[in-house]
Each structure stands twice: as C-alpha cells, then as structure tokens.
C-alpha cells in the first residue's frame, strides 16, 4: 500500500510521523510525505531523514501553480463547502491575532491550490491512504475532502477519552460511526477478559480518571519562564529566526513569518498570565449554588472540536447567552471555565458572562464531575464533559456531531429556539441498573473501536510508532473498523 503522510508545523509532528513512516516502510509499504512548508525540517535538523522518503512541499506548489479555477475544482466546490474547509485556519488566526491580512482572492487562490495539490498527488502517486491526526486545520480538511471524493482512505490518529488507548478515525466529521453502537450489548460479548477488566476498573476509578490528552497538553501552565525561557528553547528560536531571515515562508499560508507568529503566541501567553490575576472576581462559589441548573463547560480555542466540528458556535458568549434565555423558568446555567484556557479570553468576556442574569460562572479548578452530579444535565458544544456526564447518568444536549452522539441520552441541538422545548420535554433520567448496563455496552463499543497505546505526540514512548503502524495496517486490511479486544 502507498501512504501519504501530512506534516505541518505543529510541534513534534515531523519526528512522530517519521517514526511511523519508518515502521510502515519496514512492513513493506511505500510512504510519501506532504509537508505544508519547509519549516518543520528547519525545526528538526537532527531528524532530517526524509531523504529516505519522497517529499512534496505545498508551499512550493502554491508559489508555482497556476491557480485559475479549473472545471474539476468548480465541480468540487459545487459539492463541497470550501469556505467551511478554510474556517479552521481563519479561526486560529483570529484567536491568536495573527495572519489576518489575507483577502477573499487569497483564500480563493489557496483553496484552489489545496484542491489541485491533493488531487494531483493522489492521482500521480496512486495513494491508498492519507495519514494525519483528526481534521484540525484547512490543510488536513482539504486532504480529507479530496480523499473522500477520490476514494482514498483518510486515517486520523487521535487519543481516546479512554486512558491508555487511541483511535483511528476514518470520517472525522462523523465520529459516532466509529463506535458502531446500536444500543445493545452485543459488543460486550466480543470483549476479552482484559477488556472486561479495563472497563470495570475504569468505572470504579472514574472520578479520578483523566483523558491522556489532558495529561500531556500542558496548557494549564501559565509560567512564562517554564514555557519560553528554558535553555533548550533557544535553539528553537534561533532556527525560527534563521528560517524567517531566509524568507522561505512566502508560500506558508498557515504560519506565515514564523518569527512573527512566535511573538504573537508569546504575547497571548503573556497577556493570559496578567488577565488570570483579574478574573477571580467574576467566579462564584460553587458551595453557594442551591438551585436547579444545567452545566455548560467552556471550551479551549482554537481547536478542531469547535472550529471543525461546530464552526457556527465558536463565539461562546453568544452561545451561552442564547442558552441562558431558553432555559426552563427557575433553572440556571452554571458555566465552568476551562482548565487549559482560563485567562485566554478577554476580561470583558468574563464580565459579560457574569452579567447574564441566570448564569453562574465558576472557577476552572471546580470539580467538574461533582458539578455534573448535582446538575439536571449538561449542555455543550462537543466537550469531553458531555461524554463523562452520560456515564454519570445525565442528559446531554450538544451542538456538534461527536462520538457520543449515539448514546440514547445524548440529544443534538439544531437551533437555539429548540432548546427550551428539548429541555422541558426530556424525561428525568433514572441512573438504575438498566442504564448502567447500557453504559457498559456503550463503553464496550468505544473500547473495541480503539487500540491499546498511549498517544503523546509531544513525547511518544518507545514502541508507540510500532503500535500505531500495526493498527494502521490492521485497519487497512479489513473491510470494517476492527474490533480490538
């Protein structure tokens, strides 16, 4: 088989995917790399081993290709929402406050270049599957959409919410299909003794369990010194400066001038540290909450769970306001700040949230599972808290198509106007033996759609690349998603 591996400028993605490529090659497969730009090679010169694999650079393609609208691209954009594909990068630019000078013509040109780059690559090199993480940016979004149109598999490697496991997502916009859950316990019969033991231990220790991605992302670290002034970071800064001075970034849509981008990211962290000192006054004490309420967890921005899965709802102040004024009379909306992003929104954001009459804003350190237990249910865009609430026997009302959408107590919100009726008409959930049995069936399905292995791209353990490569090979050799015991 022939794999195309995408690499952009995200930290450590190049060495992580290179190790996977080496494993795939060792198993007799062909691998081609598609770099968004040459920055990744500049950042990891000691790992510049891609002479072992053919390499394409989108940035070079963008600078040299004739991007006039072709008949094939015209047919493509008549079937696909191109501007939605581009939204995730715009959302990232807007959130960080960088790279906002692109015009409509620029976006049209880049969209056309993305389409032709992947169309030509898939055709010329007879690609069987494209490999990356879940769709998290415009580059990956086009790779996915063009792959789907041309019958090429898209394989997105993602960390599972189940600790010590990961999944490979074929359709990032329909995660729930991965589980194959139909409300029965049939998947429990497929579990091995190890699987049964895992689920029992997971439920027993559920209050103390944290998904792997939360353990490793380090996004709750507000220390400027620890994040930016470590000795090892200065080599990184030097390489960015060297790359910027060589002016090799002219075709890099995502990063632009990486020196300016690094400064924008640094300033965002710097202002976050300052703002974090002034937001406590907008939090209310959770012990004083003595009313019926629904819980709304704030999200981290920017990330694929919002800008890709529910781009219409990334303005969370607007979302919270519309939920609050569609609640049943006498109930409140408790909004919990996010551990990984508190202080990133403006102080005015916190002030405006706290001024909504029936909204209670609580600290990022509040115990979320305790808040879920005391609530009438959870309202969320796509948060992991929604998944956890289902296992705690609560109703969940969500805006995005997420993997837990198949659960009988998960309800998709289609319009703000429908929230009131949905909340009023939803039956009270009894967390009885039948529901707990149902939840075990749900977990069995989730467990079997994942693979054993800790996915930490920033610092992968020995053997991770081999584990991921084996899972990819197994998946490509089966007609359906494998059910791993």
Average pLDDT of the residues in 207-212 = 88
Domain boundaries, the chain: 2-179+453-476, 186-212+282-446, 224-275
Which pair of structure tokens corresponds to residue 230? Answer: 């470590």
pLDDT at 478: 63
Average pLDDT of the residues in 45-72 = 79
* Token pair 């819980």 in the structure block, residue: 295
Least confident of 201-205, 392-396, 402-406, 454-458: 454-458
| pLDDT tier, 116 (very low <50, low <70, confident <90, very high otherwise) | very high
Pick among 3.90.110.10, 3.40.50.2000, 3.30.420.40, 2.40.50.140: CATH of 186-212+282-446:
3.40.50.2000
Q: Does domain 2-179+453-476 have CATH number 3.40.980.10?
A: no
The answer to whether the 2-179+453-476 and 186-212+282-446 domains have the same CATH topology is yes
pLDDT at 114: 96
pLDDT at 464: 92
> pLDDT of 370-387, one tens digit each?
999 999 999 999 999 999
pLDDT at 481: 37
Burial class (CB in 10 A: 0-12, 13-18, 19+), 272: middle
Residue 338 has pLDDT above 50, yes or no: yes
Nearest-angstrom CA–CA distance, 115 and 110? 9
Nearest-angstrom CA–CA distance, 349 and 378? 21
> pLDDT of 191-201, one tens digit each?
999 999 999 99
| pLDDT tier, 427 (very low <50, low <70, confident <90, very high otherwise) | confident
For 406-449, give the DSSP string. Answer: GSTTEEE---GGGHHHHHHHSPPP---HHHHHHHHHHHHHHHHT
> pLDDT of 75-91, one tens digit each?
999 999 999 999 999 99
pTM: 0.92
User: Mean pLDDT over all residues of the chain?
Assistant: 90
pLDDT at 479: 40
Residue 484 has pLDDT above 50, yes or no: no
Average pLDDT of the residues in 433-455 = 94
Residue 224 has pLDDT above 80, yes or no: no
pLDDT at 51: 59
> pLDDT of 293-319, one tens digit each?
999 999 999 999 999 999 999 999 999
């Amino acid at each position: 088989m022939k794999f195309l591996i995408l690499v952009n400028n995200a930290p450590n993605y190049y060495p992580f995917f290179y190790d996977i490529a080496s494993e795939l090659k060792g198993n007799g497969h062909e691998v081609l790399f598609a770099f968004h730009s040459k920055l990744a090679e500049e950042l990891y010169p000691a790992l510049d081993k891609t002479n072992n694999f053919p390499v394409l650079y989108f940035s070079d393609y963008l600078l040299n290709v004739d991007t006039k609208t072709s008949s094939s691209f015209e047919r493509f954009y008549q079937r696909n929402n191109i501007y939605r594909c581009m939204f995730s990068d715009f959302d990232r630019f807007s959130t960080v406050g960088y790279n906002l000078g692109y015009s409509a013509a620029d976006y049209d040109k880049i969209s056309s270049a993305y389409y032709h780059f992947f169309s030509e690559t898939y055709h010329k090199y007879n690609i069987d599957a494209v490999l990356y993480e879940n769709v998290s940016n415009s580059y990956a979004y086009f790779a996915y959409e063009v792959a789907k149109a041309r019958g090429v598999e898209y394989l997105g490697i993602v960390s599972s919410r189940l600790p010590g496991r990961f999944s490979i997502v074929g359709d990032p916009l329909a995660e729930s299909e991965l589980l194959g859950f139909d409300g029965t316990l049939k998947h429990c019969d497929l579990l091995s003794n190890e699987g049964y033991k895992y689920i029992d231990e997971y439920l027993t220790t559920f209050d103390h369990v944290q998904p792997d991605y939360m353990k490793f992302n380090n996004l709750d670290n507000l220390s400027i010194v620890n994040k930016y002034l470590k000795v090892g970071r200065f080599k990184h800064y030097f390489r960015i400066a060297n790359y910027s001075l060589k002016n090799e970034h002219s075709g890099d849509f995502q990063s632009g001038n990486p020196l300016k981008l690094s400064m924008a990211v640094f300033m965002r962290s710097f202002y976050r540290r300052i703002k974090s000192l002034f937001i406590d006054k907008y939090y209310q004490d959770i012990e004083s909450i003595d009313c019926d309420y629904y819980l709304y967890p704030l999200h981290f921005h920017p990330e694929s769970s919002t800008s890709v899965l529910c781009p219409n709802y990334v303005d969370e102040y607007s979302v919270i306001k519309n939920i609050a004024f569609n609640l049943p009379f006498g109930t409140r909306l408790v909004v919990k700040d996010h551990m990984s992003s508190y202080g990133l929104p403006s102080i005015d954001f916190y002030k405006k949230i706290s001024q909504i009459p029936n909204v209670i804003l609580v600290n990022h350190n509040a115990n979320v599972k305790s808040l879920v237990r005391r609530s009438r249910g959870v309202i969320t865009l796509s948060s992991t808290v929604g998944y956890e609430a289902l296992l705690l026997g609560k109703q969940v009302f969500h805006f995005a198509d997420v993997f837990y959408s198949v659960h009988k107590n998960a309800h998709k919100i289609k319009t703000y106007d429908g929230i009131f009726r949905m909340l009023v008409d939803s039956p009270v959930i009894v967390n009885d033996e039948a529901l707990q049995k149902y939840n075990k069936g749900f977990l069995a399905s989730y467990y079997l759609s994942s693979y054993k292995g800790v996915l930490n791209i920033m610092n992968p353990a020995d053997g991770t690349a081999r584990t991921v490569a084996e899972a990819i090979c197994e998946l490509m050799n089966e007609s359906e998603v494998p059910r791993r015991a």
